[in-house]
Structure formats: structure tokens, C-alpha cells
Chains A and B, each alone.
Chain A
Amino acid sequence: MNDTIRDVVFVDGVRTPFGKAGKLFEETRADDMIIRCIRSLLRRNPGLPPERVDEVALAATTQIGDQGLTLGRTAALLAGLPKSVPGYSIDRMCAGAMTAVTSVSSAIAARQYDIAIAGGVESMSNHPMGEGVDPNPRIIAEKLVDPEALNMGNTAENLHDLYPHITKARADAYAVGTQQRYAAAVERLSADVTTMAARSTDDGWTVATADELPRPGTTLEGLANLRTPFRPHGRVTAGTAAPLTDGATACLLADAETAAELGLPVAMKMVGYAFAGVDPETMGSGPIPATEKALARAGLSIEDIGLFEINEAFAVQVLAFLDHFKIADDDPRVNPWGGAIAVGHPLASSGVRLMTQLAREFAVHPEVRYGITTMCVGLGQGGTVIWENPNFKGAK
């Protein structure tokens, strides 16, 4: 038996355009969105015989209705993958797709799979946060979690409380910056955005080609007077939070030898990953311990990281991360092509968007050797994956 660990590579990633919940994709099935992503992946990689896919791991936070029925399997079937290709569903709330990637990657490294598809979808139009949840009464009885922590906006306000130096003004400035970076990068991003048919009973069909949510003209003045919906006179506004979003992502992972055999491109090489827990009440700090853990395991330090793709659930949570690692709010290494505050955050699908975006950034940053994708997770978790840039031209 060969017990050596193999290199895992990120071959390619795609996503649908992201739509505003209740708008563009309100009448579009979540499974159809991820099916479109899987089919696009297969079309973009014609060298991959579909029957060689060993696993389809798909994430959704709310696994009922069109996101239920073991989405990984049903979407694989409906996408036209051979019936011999298995699939399963996976959930770690916002880090669903990220966990799909780490799970199948571990299996690839351990020689259990050669090729896998991982992704996620969330129709927040049809599956709003908290749909159908039934929290255990012990959460309240034993004061395990402040019930308010089930609302993510409250946890963001909590972070402002905990880190008073992260002011609303800093959050607003961060949000303006990410909108601008997205706007500047939209053409480059579009290379990995597939078109998606969307029907409206009242208006007929359209084919979405672009993200619906970004507000390229966002200004500090515009953000200053927004309502703070989570707390009177609070600091978190719609302008500094990721909007409710519909969208799907999927990516192709392989071991390095199989990728070479099939002529599949290598966009990133996985270095390692970690997940970590924090207080649910300040779930936004999750990326901090997750990143420290991942770096430690990889034998790297934060200085080794040349690009950061951090999911912007809230500006405050990104700023907490940056402060912890002593990185400037406007450091060009952080979300250089914009983040979730601009593009949106369809919960379980966002992890793969971060990776797809990092892969593109790697391609134009041969001076960067390592990058991370990291995100916070509801109920107090963080997840971080460290990637190596195959285009790195520097001294190793």
C-alpha cells in the first residue's frame, strides 16, 4: 500500500452570477444553479472524462426543498454526470463549499479519490437564514449561547463592542474600498462567471450574465446615514454587510498526477487548512484562530502570505482579522478584486468563490507564493485554507 500523501490541486472554479435575494433568481431553483456550474466546469475542461469524477460534494446551509434530497447526488445526476459518479451533501453554514473542498481534498491527498467536484449553493430568496431551524431549548436554559447570536448582524455589532477601535467610520471606508476594487476587477472576474437562465413569471426569461448586487458608486457619504438594522444607533449597516444573495459555485480538484495525466490546468496547490471555533456571540473572529492554526500546521507565518481572500460577511469582522495580524485596512493584498460586501454572499457557496478568485489573482501575481482563503462561520467558527501559487517565480 502506498501511504504517501499526494499533492492536491485546484484545477478550475466557476460560479453563477450572484443575484439579490428576492430579485433576479427568486424563481430559479437552487439545484438548477449548481447544475449549471457543474456543467460549465465540465465544458471548460473537455480533457476530463466525466466518469473519472470520483465524488461530488455540494454544500447548502438549508438542506430542504430544492437544496435537499442529497443535493450532491441529485445535482450530479441532473447535471448529466454518469450515474456511476457518487455525490453527497455537506453543511458548515457559510463555510459549506470550503468544507466540501477540504473534505474531498483530504480524500484526494489520501489516495481515495483522484478527481472531485466541490461546490455550494444558497438561494437566500427561497431559503432565508434560519428557515425551519429548531434550536435546542438547552441553548437558552443552560445559557450555552446567547440566542441573539443566531442572528449574524448581532454578532457583528458584538465585534464592534469588543473592538471599540474598529469604528463605524473604518467599516464604512473598508466597504467603499471593496466596492471600488470589485468595480475595477469586474471584467477579470467575469472569466469565471457562467451565464444563468432566470425566469420571472411576470417578465419571462432572462439570461443573467453579471452580478446584480455591486454598488460601484458607493461613497462614504452614502454609507454614513444608512440605518443600523441590528441595533438602534448601532454600527453595522446594509452597506458594511454582505447582502442576502442567491448563487452557486463549483470547482474541480484533483491530485497533481491525475491533473498532469489529463492535461488539466493547475491553478493552485493546496498547502493545508484548519477550522477553529470561537464564541458564537462573536463568530466574526473565527478566521483568526483558524488562520493561526493553519499557518502553524503548515510551518508558515502570516508574513508568508501574499494574498488574502477573506469573506466579507461584515466589514467589522474583516477589520478584526486585519488588526489581529497587523495588516492595514487598505492593504492591497487583501481582497484585491473586491469581496462579499460588493458581490454578495450566498452562504454555503462563498468558499469556492474565494478560491476561484484567489486562483485568478495568483495567475497575475507570480511574485506571490502563498495565499489564503478564509471565512467566518455562524455559531462561532472560522475556516482557512492555505494555497500555493504554481506560477510563483521567486526563490523558494
Chain B
Amino acid sequence: MSATPYATPLDLPDFEEEVVTEAHVRYLEPRGLGGKAALITLDNGYDHTKPSSFGPGGLKNLWRALDEVESQEDLKLIAVTGKPFIFLAGADIKLMPSLESREQGLALAQAGHALYKRLKDSTVPTFAFVNGVALGGGFELALHCHYRTVSTSANGLGLPEVSIGLIPGWGGSQILPNLIGVEKAAQVIVGNPLNQNKMLRGTDLVPMGIADAEFEGADFLEESLEWAVKVATGETAVERPEVDRSVWPAVIAGARQLVDEKVHNASAAAVRALDLLELAQTATFEEGSLAEDEALADLEAGPQFQSSIYAFNLVRALGKRPEGAPSPGLAKEIGKVGVVGAGLMAGQIALMFARRLEVPVVMTDLDEERAQKGLAYVRAEIDKLEAKGRTSRLKAAKLRALVSASADKSVYADCDLVIEAVFEELGVKQAVFAEIEPIVSEECLLVTNTSGLSVTAMGAKLAHPERLVGMHFFNPVAVMPLVEVIATDKTDDATLATAYAVAKKLKKTAVGSADRPAFIVNRLLGRMLAEVTGAVDAGTPIEVADVALDELGLPMRPFALLELVGLQVAWHLCQHLNEDLGPRFPASQNLRRMAEAGFPVFDAAAKGKGRLTEEAKGLIELGGEASSAEEVKERVLKGLAEEVRFMLDEGVVPSAKQIDLAMIMGAGFPFWLGGLTPYLDREGISTAVSGSPFLANA
């Protein structure tokens, strides 16, 4: 423990950039209470688009509000709620990078504890009326109250700290498992943040045991207060099921195994959160709080958190306003979309455009049979969406009406955008555009979904190459949030602006890439695989090479990635990169043999794990130079650093930020690496390989 006394909010230095959340207090005399109720509203003065959060100023305001409330006589209940749609979105994330020392982080953790403890230890019953978004420290504030109501229309509830490299350190890790049991708590605190940061909805809280009562949004506050009066007067008894403590060690062990499997324990925050959940079985609240303080201070001072904040801000800011996009005002209206091809990818693209743009989408293929088969696939997908309740009956009917298919390419005549999703070969794509250009208007955007071919070459024979642009979607297109937008030297601003505007309507994060081989994500994943297969070719056993990157916590190991993308595709990419970018992308012969095997290479019983069948193991020829896992890791990271430097030098992207954003959104690279380059920088690899870090301030 530090020698300084335990901090309260009043000890915290002010944070200049804080949007300070006020804690307004009003006293009510509800019928039947026989005394006063204090209703505290947390409100930062902005509408719901700027959620209230807590920095030192906000903590102080609630501290003082509680001082005032506690001085009241005849007080029978204290309730906390938020401004419309927002309860409290947690600690102010902008504040975190300004913490200059571990002591400051510790003080912030202690101050939150000291404040919330007052709600927990209050002799007057305390209530949280969770009317809307309650994240992190906001959720924890509610957990400290003696009772909770939740609006069934609330969204954005949970403890997402682990996703940004922290732990719920204002009591969440200790209260929640003791409230709802460690299994559900581990799901909320660790499982959900590592599962694309899944949030809870208002209707989840009562079934999970987190809230005691739920009320509809229409008169949530009135009904909450009425309920609170009944609880405070003893008319309504709140019963909570006993937490099963016998399962505690087994649940923790299981959760540790899951975190190991999922991210190979690379997330320091996840590991630390599990430690705290384990502690919560036996620790007193005070012991648990102290452990949270230490964990929070450690993590805030650590590299993963800094990288996570960088990544968080990247996704939030750059993800919304792509760098290099021309003025959105130049974008053309898209009233009809053509998709060339009616295969699986084309069908997915057609459905996505129909769902998001809500304009007619027409697919074509070589003959009527293929076209109708493609259409049947899309219709079946719409049926599935409707059956799962993902789309309403009316919207499903609209989608069915919007998507059509034909063998006759004249249907493109009135399209404003035609995107090709045909076989990944330059000649084929050139032929497609040559056939289409005379049919469409001069204004119609021509878009290629190539994953790495030269867009410039594709447009070489076009009469109007200025309306050609690349939009590289990732498979499965409905799920993967990234699209790489590729302009050639000839692409005009209106076309490029339209591509970005379309990406936004498709709800994709767009990252611009120069027209260089494999663009951003595939080039770096290609380089990663090239180094791994290179190590294997040289003599490293697959079992060693495959786990070499585990400590980074990438979403999948290299061979699982190969299994996912498909060996033929990977081999195709490998050859293509070898031709375009040279011998640092060697044409791995082991990869070639696997791609050409003609029998199952991956063990179907371990689907998704990239495990080779016994037969396939016979294909692997190892050279004489075996590397250790550590050496493979170093080789891969150096390769990646070298490739990033090449990409920056070639102008593939204006800065390393776009690379990180693309790797996060397109390849699922974790926040705790900051995507890629913050990790390479902090490990010194950037400087060792290319002479300087990639990010100026990292």
C-alpha cells in the first residue's frame, strides 16, 4: 500500500478537458413514504449523443451531493438516475492517458471506491434507477446501490473494461460475483468484453439477477419511484437467490481455460479480472477494493492499456471520419445497384447493399440458371433473417422485392453503381468491365471487390476509368466491419466520395489504400503467413511455428487462419505477392502441396483449429534449420515491421494509424496490441528493423 492515505474524490486534481457531470439533487415526498426521498440526476448538460461520464469533477459533484443529501432529516430513500437515455457511461476515458503516474491512477481508483462506498454503506436505502446506458463505472455505481430498477428500453449496459485493457475496478469485480454468482459475473466481466464487447440490454438485468425490478421506458421513473417507496417502507420485499459458492473454484478454472484458448492469456486485463473474481469468493469488500485499486493502477500504467486507448480512439474517430476521403458533399446518390456474378460472395454483397441502401439490387450471371440460383440463395438468406427476427416481416418483403437476378446485362443500364464479384483474375475482371461499360451510363460507378489485384490495370481499357474504384469487403461481408477503399491515379473525387459514402451506409469502417498489391490487411496477413510457412519450410515443426505468436493473443493461430481463408486462396495470394513484391514473399512449397493435396488437409473433427490430418502431415517437408517458437515470433514480428515500413514508404496509407485500424477491423487484431504498430513500437521491433517507431507519440 502507498503511504498516502486512502484518497477521496476531493483529493483528485482537476482534469481540464473533463466534461463535468453534475449531480442534481431534488427532494420529493412520494405518497406513502412518510418522509423525503432524494432523487439525484447525473447529467453532463449535453444530449444523449454525449453520454455523461465521471472524471474528478463528476466524482466530486456526486460526493458533495451525498454530503448534502445525508444532512437531510427525515430522509427515507436515496435514488440515483441519469439524463434521458443515459444513466452513466463510466469513467471519462479521455482522462486516462493524462494519468502521469501510478500514484495518480491509484488515487483515481481509490476515489471511486470511496465515493461509491457511501451508497453501499448508507443507512438510508439507496436505489439506482438505471434508465439507460450504464457502462463500467456507471454500472458499478448501480451495483453499489442497495436496490436497482432498470428500464426495459435501456441499451448499452455492462462492464466492458477488459476490452480496453482495464478491470472493473470501482467495485464491479467484487460486488457482481457476490450478487449473481461467479459464472454469470465472469461472463459479464470477461466473456462479453472478449466477445466483440457484447453489451447487455435492459431486459437482461432482472433475469440475470443484476436488477431487482424492470419497468417500461414510458413511465420508468414514476414506476421506479413507486416501487422504491414500497421497498423502503417494507411493503415489498426484495428477494435474491443465494449465490452458489461451491462452484466458484471450478468456474474460475473453466474461465481461465477459456481465456487461454481464446486469447492465450495475452490480455493482461482478462487475466487480472479473473484473479479478482477468484478473490471475490472469500475476500471482504475492503480487501477486494484494495486489490481492485492495485490492479487498476498496475494496468493503467501498463503498455496494454495505452495501446487499448489508442485503438479505442482510432476506432471511434478515424472509423467514423476516414482519412483521405473527399468531401462527402461530392458523393452521388445511389438509386440502383448492379452486382456482377451470382455466386456466394456476389449474393452476400447483393443482400448487404439491399439491406443497407434499400435500393433495387440486380445480380447477373452467365446464364439464367446461375442467376436464379444466386437469387434463390439471397431469398433464403432473407428468410433466415426473418425467421431469426433480425428483420421484420415488412422489411423482409421489401428486401425480396429489391433484389432480382438476370442473365441479361442490360439490366445494369439504369444502375448508379455496379460492383463485380467474379473470379479473382485480372483478365476476367477486365472482360467484365469491358462488357458492362457500354451498357451503363457514363456516371455509373464501377466497383471491384478484388482482394488484391491492381485496380489500375483493371481500368486500363475503360473509356471512363475515373469512375472505377476498389471496395474490398472481407468474408463474410455481412459480418466483417472493414472495407478497404482503393482509388487509382485516375479515380475522380466524386467516385471516391461516393465509395466512402456507400461504405458508411453499409455501416462499414472504411480505410483508404493505395492501389498496391493486396492492399493493407491481406498484405500483412500474407507476410505473417509467409514468415510462418517460411519457418516451417526451413525446418520448424508446425506445432512450434503455429503457437509462436500466442502471446500476442491474435484471434486465431496461423494454421487456423489458413483453414479459414482456404488453402487454395492462400496459395493464390502467396504466388501473387511473390510475383508482385518479390522474394520476401517466398512461394512456400509446403503451402503449395497442401493447396494441391486433393484430400482433406485439415482435421474436420477439430474444425477451425487448423489441425492437420495425419495424411496431410505427410505432405510437410521440413528443411534442416529448426527455429524455436521465440525465434519464429521474432521472425514474424520483424517481417511485419519491415512490411509496415515498406507500406508507409510506398504510400499505401498516409500513416500507421490506418494500418492499425484496418488490422483491428479487418483481421481482428486486439486492442491491447493497439492493432499492430503500437506493439511493434513498444517492443522496440520497429526501431530495430526500420530505424524509428511508426507512431510519433507511442
Contacts and interface: CB of A to CB of B under 8 A. Distances in A.
B222 A204 contact: no
Nearest to A203: B24
Given A194-B222, A203-B24, A204-B43, A80 B30 contact: no
B449 interface: no
Nearest to B84: A199
Nearest to B27: A206
B219 A205 contact: no
Contact of B40 (A36, A197, A202, A204): A204
Interface residues of B, number: 24
A206 B129 CA distance: 13
Interface string A2-36: 00000000000000000000000000000010011
A39 B219 CA distance: 8
Contacts of A196: 222
A36 B218 contact: yes
B448 interface: no
Nearest to B222: A195
A204 B31 contact: no
Chain A interface, >50% SS class: mixed
A218 interface: no
A94 B123 CA distance: 49
Interface residues of A, number: 21
A202 B222 CA distance: 20
B216 interface: yes
B226 interface: yes
Interface in A346-374: none
B328 interface: no
A207 B39 contact: yes
A183 interface: no
A145 B81 CA distance: 52
B300 to A, nearest CB: 31
Nearest to A78: B218
Interface string A36-52: 10010000000000000
A199 B81 CA distance: 11
B218 A35 contact: yes
B45 interface: yes
A383 to B, nearest CB: 30
A238 to B, nearest CB: 27
Nearest to B81: A205
A207 B31 contact: no
B221 A209 contact: no
B41 interface: yes
Nearest to B29: A209
A197 B222 contact: yes
B26 A206 contact: yes
B25 interface: yes
A207 B218 contact: no
Interface in B195-222: 216, 218-222
B24 A207 contact: no
Interface string B13-35: 00000000010111011110000
A80 B153 CA distance: 13
B594 interface: no
Contacts of A32: 218
Contacts of B218: 32, 35-36, 39, 78-80
A201 B28 CA distance: 17
B225 interface: yes
A106 interface: no
Given A80-B218, A195-B222, A209 B41 contact: no
A137 to B, nearest CB: 42
Nearest to B24: A204
A197 B221 contact: yes
A190 interface: yes
Nearest to B82: A205
A204 B40 CA distance: 7
A190 B222 contact: no
A195 B228 CA distance: 14
A209 B45 CA distance: 25
A204 B219 contact: no
In order of increasing CB-CB distance, the 9 nearest A-B pairs are A204-B41, A204-B24, A197-B221, A206-B26, A195-B222, A205-B41, A207-B225, A36-B219, A197-B222
19 contacts: A32-B218, A35-B219, A39-B218, A79-B218, A190-B31, A195-B30, A195-B222, A197-B220, A199-B41, A199-B84, A202-B24, A203-B24, A203-B41, A204-B25, A204-B41, A205-B26, A205-B39, A206-B28, A209-B31
Interface of A: 32, 35-36, 39, 78-80, 190, 194-197, 199, 201-207, 209
Given A203-B41, A204-B41, 10 more contacts: A195-B31, A195-B225, A204-B22, A204-B25, A204-B40, A205-B39, A206-B26, A207-B28, A207-B39, A209-B30
